[in-house]
Amino acid sequence: MYFLAKRVGKYIVSEKLILMNPKFKSILSASQFTKSELSELLDLTSLIENKLQSRKQIPLLNEYILATMFFEPSTRTRLSFESAMHRLGGRVITAVGMQFSSMAKGETLFDTLKVLESYADICAIRHPVEGASALAAQTISIPVINAGDGAGEHPTQGLLDLYTIAHYKKLDEKPLNIGFVGDIKYGRTIHSLIQLLSHFDCHFTLISPKELQLDEKYISFLKKQKKEFLITEDLNKLSECDVAYVTRIQEERFIDHREFEKFHNYYIIDKEVVEKCKKDIIIMHPLPRLSEISTDVDDMPQAKYFHQAKNGLFTRMALLLYSLNINIK
């Protein structure tokens, strides 16, 4: 099975890494976590959020250096990591657009990483090619955090999404109906989040145009996990959900621009739609958004997408500590 294979694959990576540095843990895939590890991370994130209400810094990484190595641009993800490191008292060195430097002269990613590992204690890597972070974790002796690798994973986004849901809806208290709206086929944040949520008591309402439905391999995964799910094109089904996770239709996925035009305003979550939902629904979005959530929702208490972005800071602080095996107490 795809997920198990991936999990095993990633596990080998982790174990090889653990052998190299028994103290450290790389963050490569949403599938690498057990339920108890997830619970531990959620608790740690919550503790950090609480501590930051009365202070600006939790100085646990005072002498550490984080390298943010972004082989493709992603300003907000990069700044979220850098702010997280600063809030822990650490230092940051940054490489963006590295494709234009040594690698343009024909250097391999392996060599680039071997050199860069000397300069930092931990690194966050964004790369357009799937598996780049796993390669990094096998190559270098400092922990690696996958900050997005192409069509692959973006586990820190999945974890911050999970934390946001856990923050507003207690997990495992009663079953949660999680609604996904938009491009469910290509949205990698959805795929990561489904994997993470599969550890908890929830079922899924998957609302998308027929052409952008959940991929067969994820459907098999949900069946194997014995998770209920509803595949539908009907936005009205959102009224039964506890969470609405909305995604952008990604223009860059369509070869034929007329196809994109067809879908890009397919669902619009506006005030009227939200008012028909459960009163305590939370509206999430990984951002950036285009028109799929109207701005008249922004001031409604259900809108949580900007809080979600803020949770990225707490989550990444937790992951930095977790990777480096630094105890907060």
Please answer whether residues 149 and 27 qualify as being in contact, where contact means their C-beta atoms are separated by less than 8 angstroms.
Answer: no
The verdict on 313 binding a copy of itself (CB under 8 A) reads yes
Please answer whether residues 81 and 124 qualify as being in contact, where contact means their C-beta atoms are separated by less than 8 angstroms.
Answer: yes
Cβ 240 to a copy of itself, closest distance in Å?
A: 28
User: How many residues interact with a copy of itself (rule CB under 8 A)?
Assistant: 54
- Show the tokens assigned to 233: 């094109």
The verdict on 300 binding a copy of itself (CB under 8 A) reads no
Considering only residues 118 to 177 of the shown chain, the ones binding a copy of itself according to CB under 8 A are 118-121
The verdict on 23 binding a copy of itself (CB under 8 A) reads no
Strands (E), 184-267: 202-207, 229-232, 243-246
Sign of the C-alpha dihedral computed for residues 126, 304, 228 and 184 taken in this order:
negative
The rounded distance, in Å, linking the Cα atoms of 262 and 222 is: 29
Segment interacting with a copy of itself, rule: CB under 8 A, options 73-81, 147-155, 178-186, 205-213: 73-81
The verdict on 328 binding a copy of itself (CB under 8 A) reads no
Residue type at position 260:
F
**Nearest residue (CB) to a copy of itself, 98 versus 176:** 98
**Nearest residue (CB) to a copy of itself, 121 versus 153:** 121
The verdict on 82 binding a copy of itself (CB under 8 A) reads yes
- Show the tokens assigned to 32: 């690498």
Q: Burial letters for 204-240: b for 16+ Cβ neighbours within 10 Å, e otherwise?
A: bbbbbbeebbbeeebeebbeeeebebeebeebebbee
Please answer whether residues 205 and 177 qualify as being in contact, where contact means their C-beta atoms are separated by less than 8 angstroms.
Answer: yes
**Nearest residue (CB) to a copy of itself, 228 versus 261:** 261
The rounded distance, in Å, linking the Cα atoms of 184 and 210 is: 10
Q: Burial letters for 119-151: b for 16+ Cβ neighbours within 10 Å, e otherwise?
A: ebbbbbbbbeeebbbbbbbbbbebbbbbbbbbe
Segment interacting with a copy of itself, rule: CB under 8 A, options 7-15, 71-79, 155-163, 219-227: 71-79
The verdict on 287 binding a copy of itself (CB under 8 A) reads yes
The verdict on 257 binding a copy of itself (CB under 8 A) reads no
Segment interacting with a copy of itself, rule: CB under 8 A, options 31-39, 203-211, 233-241, 281-289: 281-289
Cβ 234 to a copy of itself, closest distance in Å?
A: 27
Per DSSP, the three-state class of 324 is helix
Strand partners, 245: 180, 284
Cβ 87 to a copy of itself, closest distance in Å?
A: 8
Among 15, 37, 111, 261, binds a copy of itself (CB under 8 A): 111
Considering only residues 186 to 245 of the shown chain, the ones binding a copy of itself according to CB under 8 A are none
Helix, strand, coil distribution of the chain in percent, nearest 5: 50, 15, 35
The verdict on 2 binding a copy of itself (CB under 8 A) reads no
The verdict on 63 binding a copy of itself (CB under 8 A) reads yes
**Nearest residue (CB) to a copy of itself, 124 versus 222:** 124
Among 106, 210, 216, 327, binds a copy of itself (CB under 8 A): 106
**Nearest residue (CB) to a copy of itself, 100 versus 258:** 100
Query: Rounded to 5 degrees, what are φ and ψ at 122?
Result: -160, 150
Among 18, 47, 65, 230, binds a copy of itself (CB under 8 A): 65
Please answer whether residues 185 and 263 qualify as being in contact, where contact means their C-beta atoms are separated by less than 8 angstroms.
Answer: no
Binding site for a copy of itself (CB under 8 A): 55-57, 62-65, 67, 73-76, 79-80, 82-83, 86-87, 91-95, 97-98, 100-103, 105-107, 110-112, 114-116, 118-121, 248, 251, 287-290, 295, 306, 309-310, 312-313
